Structure 1
Amino acid sequence: MAKTGAYYQNRLGETSRARPNLRNPLLRKNHETGHGRLIEDYFADDAVYAKAAFHISNGKWMQGEKSFSLIQKWTTSIRQLAYGMGTDKWDDYFRMSERTVRDSMYKFCKAICLVYGQRYLCKPTINDIHQLYTVHEGKHGFPGMLGSINCMHWSWSLCPNAWRGQYMRGNHKESTIILEAIASHDLWIWHAFFGPAGAYNDINVLDKSSVFNDIYLRKSHDVPFQANGVAYKHGYYLTDGIYPPLSIFVKSFTCPNDLKRKKFKEAQKSARKDVERAFCVLKRRWQVVTVGARSYEVKRLQHVMYACIILHNMILEVERRVICRYNENEVLPNIEGVAVGTQEYRVNRRKVHNRDLHQTLRADLVEHIYRAHIQPPHELSHDDDLFDESDEDSDMFVESEDSDEESDAGENDPDDQGEDEDDDSE
């Protein structure tokens, strides 16, 4: 017993000794130099990269104590979203640590969602729905089309082990988070639902999504349209074959056996590519969506995804390639909905899940598309065009046509004409 007591006393004496500090010393990265370099490269009057210069309306917010400026923080945030690189890639230029860069991006995305989410992720108004009807019918030939719906998956490389069973699917080797979106022909994303827990696919995610809530609660706008002479109350979305046959979904035929259905399948397949093109443009502009998500919290990943979608719609508005213009002075009608679980709520739900109405709508659209194929409608006027007349691309195409005519005229030289005449005389 005495030996045992002496042994533990010696161990306690060893642990009580002062241990050397193994932590790295605090590095002075001189972040003021990084701020000055960023100003000289992009924000000064004689910036080095003049083509990528940013516009600053007021510079008072740049003043304050000597810490990381807001320009440094939101520039690193946008670069992380655009290039998808890690947080340790910007230390040499911005003189910022990994934690500061990572926290800046999450706070930037949260601010984007809070400030601009209500405008750039809003639901279409009555005027917007009329414009969507007109453009989609002129471009694709589908009357009453609101857009196309589809889903994509974002891989989650840092998913906690305790949650991997909730975010795993059989056709994916790693954890993923699903995104449900609705896009129109101009690639504007009107609806986005991201981040539900569970192994969701395109079908069962509809039970969690809010895409049908306005119809169930009778808060949606009733904008009727006609297809093959039959009037319908609500618009619809184009889907692929995996979606259920609902009254607001229009699917194609698996094996069309006549000419009408074949034409409808070609038109429907071409029109529902709008949402897939929107996904491709979203991934191309914001590379962070293509790499694995680097966060342990789903809420932060939701802010990142929604911020990328908001910035995507914002770019479309700046480029003036949107169908619907935002009107701040537009007065929205006050619609009184119904309560959940009431008789009227159940009736609206049954209407949405009515398969007979789905078959009837698709049959009328088949006839409408076939008639439009036999007698093509008149082309859209310049007022209905998605692109501005002052667009540089349109001038480029006009110049190319003139240059082609000049080149064709130059190829017909007098010598060549003389040779042709000799050939004819022979």
Structure 2
Amino acid sequence: MGDRRRRSMAMQMAQYQARMEIEDAELFNAEVELFNSFMQSEHNGESSHRGSVTGRSYVQRDREECHDRMMKDYFIERPRFHAHDFRRRFRMRRELFESILNAVVNHDQYFERRVDATGRQGLSPHQKLTSAFRMLANGCSADSTDEYCRLAESTAIENLKRFCKAIEGIYGATYLRNPNRADLKRLLRKAEKRGFPGMIGSLDCMHWEWKNCPTGWAGQFKGRHDKPTIVLEAVASYDTWIWHAFFGAPGSNNDINVLWSSPLFDNVVNGWAPEFRYKVNGNRYELGYYLTDGIYPSWSTFVKSFSHPDSAKKKLYSQRQESYRKDVERAFGILQARWAIVRGPARFWQSEDLHSIMMTCIILHNMIVEDEYIEIEEDSDEDVDDDQPTHARAIARDVEYLAPTTYETRQDRVTLSEYMRRLNRIQAPQCHDTLRKDLVEHVWRREDLFEQIHRF
């Protein structure tokens, strides 16, 4: 009985060992097959598990080769493409681009070039900024920058958002500022030359279509074009510099509704804005004004044209006012032509991202204006050669010297009564009518004086 039991246990042990050998052989064959499959997929340029995340493929983008090619194209001493090609594709001169690149890299470590875990060089700052500029300037999708800049779609979107935040943080205080004392002196001097003393700029609104507006908000943001839009209220001067930018109002609002939400006159009612005085037709005024169209209210800080001028004086005044009011329209046109992303429908989902992109485009626009706009000094007798090549977009000519304007800056404590007094002074319709009548007479006398000068 004991021998039979021992033989049975030995037989079971032998069968168990045989099964284990078979399983080990099958496991070894499976590992060999998996290894062969992995080597074959590596040879074909694809990973067997399709990337670090299931369902994603790994693409060998050759970041180093892309960086070297980009440097040879634009950023070496003798690049493949000349300065005018760089200006057309990046919307600015190379010197300005490189100064922005250095500032952004110092501001955010995200744009530095790093070495990954495998010892390979990561994306360079030139690749990241070129991708962001291509998306802003051409209005293209994030995926389209992969071919030249070698940024995947998700990386390009993250890169654009980080770039816009960096631009706002570095340059926002300078290029989104209100006019300071020196700026006001220059603007008022130019306004006096154009026949509108006291004019600070032109005011108007622009709509940006929001393609990916959430369905629950679509009714609020739909305007006259039956598509969701976001409104930009802006003030622009003669050189198309944008001094005031208020963005974010739903497209269902008209210009008056946007004005009531805008911080346009906050500095004035709080007593923080520089005060100045000027005379028109012998009358004295203490508040500057903006040129607007007919929809805006009749305030002392707005000057509108006549919808039906019934005299030669009013016709001449309306022609001049409508001509100079086009400064803000030109600024909108240049902004959309220069940065195509704000011309086409916005494809981002968050309104905060759209605000950041719009502010970045305005900052870069003002930087280009400052870098390229040429203005002839008042005391310069040098003539400008129209045939001479220049990077300037526009040239201001025939600027005459005017007496400096006196300023008084006060930062007193604002009480409720003082606040209401300043607000009522801004919104005074009687002052609006008086100022417009004086401007009509001033423009007429000025035109008559010019005709007499040219006649002799």
Do they superpose with TM above 0.5?
A: yes
Gaps of 5+ in 1: 1-19, 325-331, 380-426
Range 197-206 or range 230-239, more displaced: 197-206
| Equivalence for 2:411 | 336
TM-superposed deviation, 1:333: 8.5
Letter in 1 for 2:65: T
Letter in 2 for 1:346: M
TM-superposed deviation, 1:46: 3.3
Letter in 2 for 1:125: N
TM-superposed deviation, 1:203: 0.8
| Equivalence for 2:161 | 106
| Equivalence for 1:85 | 140
- Give yes or no for contact 2:276–2:408 (8 Å, CA) kept in 1: no
- Give yes or no for contact 2:201–2:237 (8 Å, CA) kept in 1: yes
3-state SS, counterpart of residue 283 of structure 1: helix
| Equivalence for 1:315 | 368
| Equivalence for 1:278 | 331
Using the alignment, how far apart are the partners of 2:307 and 2:376 within structure 1? 32
Using the alignment, how far apart are the partners of 1:322 and 1:163 within structure 2? 45
After TM superposition, the structure 1 = structure 2 runs for residues 42-121 of structure 1, keeping only pairs within 5 Å, are 42-51=74-83, 52=86, 54-55=94-95, 56=98, 64-65=114-115, 66-121=121-176
Gaps of 5+ in 2: 1-48, 87-92, 116-120, 378-406
3-state SS, counterpart of residue 165 of structure 1: helix
| Equivalence for 2:19 | none
- Give yes or no for contact 1:188–1:322 (8 Å, CA) kept in 2: no
| Equivalence for 1:154 | 208
Using the alignment, how far apart are the partners of 2:239 and 2:252 within structure 1? 31
| Residue 262 (structure 2) pairs with residue 209 (structure 1) | yes
| Equivalence for 1:394 | none
TM-superposed deviation, 1:274: 0.6
Using the alignment, how far apart are the partners of 2:273 and 2:112 within structure 1? 44
TM-superposed deviation, 1:251: 0.7
TM-superposed deviation, 1:242: 0.7
One of 57, 60, 63 as aligned partner of 1:25: 57
3-state SS, counterpart of residue 309 of structure 2: coil
Using the alignment, how far apart are the partners of 2:376 and 2:218 within structure 1? 41
- Give yes or no for contact 1:186–1:321 (8 Å, CA) kept in 2: no
- Give yes or no for contact 1:338–1:344 (8 Å, CA) kept in 2: no
Per-residue CA deviation, residues 356-380 of structure 1 (Å, 9 max, x unaligned), is 111111111111111111112999x
- Give yes or no for contact 1:246–1:358 (8 Å, CA) kept in 2: yes
RMSD of aligned alpha carbons: 2.5
One of 168, 178, 184 as aligned partner of 2:237: 184
- Give yes or no for contact 2:241–2:366 (8 Å, CA) kept in 1: yes
- Give yes or no for contact 2:137–2:340 (8 Å, CA) kept in 1: yes
- Give yes or no for contact 2:274–2:408 (8 Å, CA) kept in 1: no
TM-score by length of 1: 0.77
Per-residue CA deviation, residues 50-85 of structure 1 (Å, 9 max, x unaligned), is 323834577998653121111111111011111111
Using the alignment, how far apart are the partners of 1:323 and 1:185 within structure 2? 14
The count of corresponding residues between Structure 1 and Structure 2 is: 350
- Give yes or no for contact 1:129–1:223 (8 Å, CA) kept in 2: no
Letter in 1 for 2:139: G
Identity %: 40
Using the alignment, how far apart are the partners of 1:262 and 1:370 within structure 2? 10
| Equivalence for 2:33 | none
| Equivalence for 1:403 | none
- Give yes or no for contact 2:239–2:373 (8 Å, CA) kept in 1: no
The higher radius of gyration belongs to 2
Using the alignment, how far apart are the partners of 2:413 and 2:236 within structure 1? 28
- Give yes or no for contact 1:181–1:190 (8 Å, CA) kept in 2: yes
Structure with bigger helix share is 2
Structure ranking higher on relative contact order (CA contacts 8 Å, 6+ apart): 1
Using the alignment, how far apart are the partners of 2:451 and 2:243 within structure 1? 27
